[in-house]
Amino acid sequence: MERSTRKKAVKPELLSPGGSLEKLRMAFLYGADAVYTSGKDFGLRGFAHNLDRDQLAAASRMAHGLGKKIYVTANIFARGSDLAKMPSFLEYLQAIRIDALIISDPGVLMLARKYAPGVAVHLSTQANTTNALSVRFWQEQGVRRINPARELSLSEIAEIVEATEAEIEIFVHGAMCMSYSGRCLMSAFLNPAGSSSVARSANSGFCTQPCRWSWTLVEEKRPGEYFQVEQDSRGAYILNSKDLCLLEEIGALVGLGIDSLKIEGRMKGALYVASVTRAYRQAIDRCERGRYTVEPAWVDDLEKISHRPYTKGGLFAGDTDRKPDVETRISYIQTHTLGGLVRPGTGDQQVGYRPGEKIFFEARSRLLSGQELEFLNPDGSSSFHVLGAFEDLNGNGLTMAQPNMLIRFCVDFAVFAFQAVRVSTGGAARGEESLELGRAMM
């Protein structure tokens, strides 16, 4: 196959999840070039907050006001009833000027070309694109960007980049589905709604992640006698997937000319979005400046989010020292959580606060006097504050704040509105011990 004449991307786009307006804003604050989000229908994350039409319009205005991009998912495997509702949604997305539509279904593509012809189309990994000829086929149908099947190796991705003119996007971080490119039936079978299993189908946006439940085997005539599904020389943990983390490989991916590096996580929280986005922002920028090395601060960010042990996934399946993509333990590793967010004040404080000013702060966890707060800065650094005296909005002194409570206190450094603040959970969650990233992701 002849080589493509397209110009490779010099610096890839960083694409972060925006499952709500708050998380969308968080992604932009911490360095995302673009976000992907969903309306109330047609996306594959039905349990995320998702955005109604007014919120989608607000999200588009926010993105474009910052010189960023916004993509909206409509990547369900559509049934006939879905198609009937889709034209008006597509027309609305074009009217609010979103930058791209993410799809997986050929029928949805036909509707998109008819009802939103001015909106670029990106193809989801759900479409299982595994070779350059398939990429060219989708290009001929009007698709601008392809997210290839996750089963491909790095060399196979490189062949596609060399041989096609389409933009190529890949996942670099987040949860991985154990089904082939996400085409999972387990959720539908195990979580039927009424007489129909469609309502809880992963392919319709309602995956309940049964691959992350604790599984045992039981023989029909021996009730109560359970056999734990384990990995050893006789068998494997066939469902219990690790989380993807390609932080160490960003240099190689940038060298390939990948157009967009995507972070999974529209159902994850604001701390996840802030921490992962800023780690990969710093990594991408390091590649632009020269030789790529991983900084401990980036590793720290990824260790301090709720996660499973990390793996490099299918891209590096040929590594001889690579550990399995499945994990013997069920619990997530969580040493830190979202302590709260800086809230806008009035006047100049709508943007941020100067050192020594009393800040408005929304607690997201139970906070106690004497607790250390870590304020995350977009440049990868952190500012620390030991919570001393603080008060409610009526000026009453407090020693404890409950989640969702607004409090006020002073810090001796500048902070900005919507800044994320994390706190220690006092140890690893559910008895798990945190793993060093460099060891766990091999």
For the stretch 120-176, pLDDT in tens is: 999 999 899 999 999 999 999 999 999 999 888 999 999 999 999 999 999 999 987
Residue 276 lies in a domain: yes
* Amino acid (1-letter code) at residue 205: G
Max mean pLDDT among 226-230, 274-278, 286-290 falls in: 274-278
Any residues with CB less than 8 A from the CB of 327 and at least 6 apart, and which? Answer: 237, 240, 241, 242, 308, 309
* Amino acid (1-letter code) at residue 432: E
Residue 208 lies in a domain: no
286 and 257 housed in the same domain: yes
CATH number of the domain residue 369 falls in: 2.40.30.10
User: What tokens were used for 383?
Assistant: 């500012």
308 and 341 housed in the same domain: no
Rounded Cα–Cα distance for residues 395 and 172 (Å): 46
Rounded Cα–Cα distance for residues 24 and 18 (Å): 4
At residue 144, the 3 state secondary structure works out as: coil
Any residues with CB less than 8 A from the CB of 264 and at least 6 apart, and which? Answer: 17, 171, 173, 174, 175, 176, 244
State the DSSP code for 421: E
Residue given tokens 């990868």 in the structure block? 380
User: What tokens were used for 242?
Assistant: 């690790």
Asked if residues 73 and 43 have their Cβ atoms less than 8 Å apart, the reply is: yes
Taking the CA atoms of residue 269, residue 270, residue 272 and residue 276 in that order, the dihedral angle to the nearest 10 degrees is 150
Asked if residues 211 and 187 have their Cβ atoms less than 8 Å apart, the reply is: no
Q: What global pTM score does this model have?
A: 0.84
* Amino acid (1-letter code) at residue 287: C
Tens digit of each residue's pLDDT (9 = 90 or more) over 331-384: 678 899 999 999 998 877 789 999 999 999 999 999 999 999 999 999 999 999
- Number of residues that make up the chain: 442
Asked if residues 307 and 333 have their Cβ atoms less than 8 Å apart, the reply is: yes
Rounded Cα–Cα distance for residues 337 and 6 (Å): 43
351 and 392 housed in the same domain: yes
273 and 391 housed in the same domain: no
pLDDT: is 304 or 434 the higher one? 304
Q: Quote the percentage of the chain above a pLDDT of 70.
A: 77
Q: Which of 76-90, 109-123, 178-192 has the lowest mean pLDDT?
A: 178-192
Residue 172 lies in a domain: yes
248 and 381 housed in the same domain: no
Rounded Cα–Cα distance for residues 73 and 232 (Å): 39
Domain coverage including residue 355: 336-424
Helix axes 21-29, 270-289, angle to 10 degrees: 30
Residue 198 lies in a domain: no
Residue 206 lies in a domain: no
293 and 364 housed in the same domain: no
280 and 371 housed in the same domain: no
Q: Long-range contacts for 126-131 (Cβ within 8 Å, ≥24 apart)?
A: 126/44, 126/75, 126/77, 126/181, 126/182, 126/183, 126/203, 127/181, 128/180, 128/181, 128/183, 130/156, 131/156, 131/160
252 and 393 housed in the same domain: no
Asked if residues 308 and 438 have their Cβ atoms less than 8 Å apart, the reply is: no
At residue 415, the 3 state secondary structure works out as: strand
Q: Which of 31-35, 317-321, 360-364 has the lowest mean pLDDT?
A: 317-321
* Number of domain units in the chain: 2
250 and 384 housed in the same domain: no
Residue 8 lies in a domain: no
Residue 46 lies in a domain: yes
At residue 94, the 3 state secondary structure works out as: helix
CATH number of the domain residue 104 falls in: 3.20.20.70
256 and 113 housed in the same domain: yes
Residue 212 lies in a domain: no
71 and 140 housed in the same domain: yes
pLDDT: is 44 or 352 the higher one? 352
250 and 159 housed in the same domain: yes
User: What tokens were used for 273?
Assistant: 């979005």
User: What tokens were used for 264?
Assistant: 């999974």
Asked if residues 266 and 18 have their Cβ atoms less than 8 Å apart, the reply is: yes
Q: Which of 46-55, 127-136, 243-252 has the lowest mean pLDDT?
A: 46-55
